[in-house]
Amino acid sequence: MTRRQCTGEYKVKPIKQKVRELLGYPYPSRIPKGVFAEQWVGISTDEFHRAKDADVKYMRNRHPLLDMSWSRSDCVRYLTSFGLADTPKSSCLGCPFHGNAQWRHIRDTSPSEWADVVEFDAAIRQGNARANASGSRLLGEAFLHRSRVPLSQAPIDHVTAAERAALQLSVEEAEVLESGVEDGCSPWACRGDAEALTQDGFGLAT
Ligand code: SF4
């Protein structure tokens, strides 16, 4: 796994910036005690362990789904009543925690989004000067798919025998490769936290 700061950099930081702006105290102004914005975070009862307090005093998290004791299936039932039964869990398009099934879904249902992720995958190949956790350049190349093959050619239709052998995976573990991290991702509950599955979410070939 290379340095990964997606949630912090692209979600949490801009949200805090906006909240400060809305409160009228843009950075680096000091926010007076007692001034805060309330944020509603959609964590359901199935994942109550992901509910956390905000890490700054000027934001307070509320979890309305927990307050109403709604599970994921309650949410799906509610969405279904509005014809939105196929609402997916949220995540970024080019998330390295996608499994093959998620990549296939993008490829097979949205050609423009597939073109976008293929382009993104090609763009990260050399990483950048602060590419890994110690701030060193990548010695190899970065890939979104764990096969360490460009996404456009990666074996996303099934976990190959070669992948299984290379990673010494059992059939059950290979199944996890297929499904990826199924948790959704929000600024306050990053699916990267569920990375027990993938110690090397961004494939790195040396
Ligand atoms: S969905 Fe994936 S890429 Fe996006 S913030 Fe979460 S872990 Fe990062």
What does pLDDT average to over the chain?
Answer: 84
Q: How far is CA 59 from CA 67, 109, 175, 181, 193, in A?
A: 18, 38, 39, 28, 22
Give the three-class secondary structure for 180.
Answer: strand
Q: How far is the CA of 203 from the centre of ligand 1 (A)?
A: 15
Residue whose CA is at the smallest distance from ligand 1 atom 2: 95
How many Å apart are CA 149 and CA 162, to the nearest integer? 13
Q: Give me the long-range contacts of 51-55 (CB less than 8 A, separation at least 24).
A: 51/189, 52/188, 52/189, 54/188
How many Å apart are CA 137 and CA 156, to the nearest integer? 28
Smallest Cα–Cα separation from 127: which of 96, 104, 99, 100? Answer: 96
Tokens 């789904």 map to which residue?
Answer: 65
Q: What percent of the chain has pLDDT over 90?
A: 50
Each residue's pLDDT tens digit, 131-169: 666 667 777 788 999 888 999 999 999 777 776 777 676
Pocket test for ligand 1, best of 10, 90, 97, 102 (most atoms within 8 A of CB): 97
Give ligand 1 pocket residues (Cβ under 6 A): 6-7, 91-92, 95, 97, 185, 190-192
Residue whose CA is at the smallest distance from ligand 1 atom 8: 6
Is residue 128 pLDDT above 70, yes or no?
no
Please give the backbone phi and psi of residue 204, each rounded to the nearest 5 degrees, phi first: -130, 115
Nearest atom within ligand 1 for CA of residue 97? 2
Q: What is the pLDDT of residue 143?
A: 92
**Angle in degrees, 0-180, between the axes of helices 171-179 and 100-109, rounded to the nearest 10:** 40
Residue whose CA is at the smallest distance from ligand 1 atom 3: 95
How many Å apart are CA 180 and CA 59, to the nearest integer? 32
Would you kindly state where each structural domain of the chain is located, as residue ranges? 12-80, 100-205
Each residue's pLDDT tens digit, 62-75: 999 999 999 999 99
Each residue's pLDDT tens digit, 25-52: 999 999 999 999 999 999 999 989 989 9
The whole-number average pLDDT for the span 94-112 is 93
Minimum mean pLDDT range among 48-62, 149-163, 169-183: 169-183
Residue whose CA is at the smallest distance from ligand 1 atom 6: 185
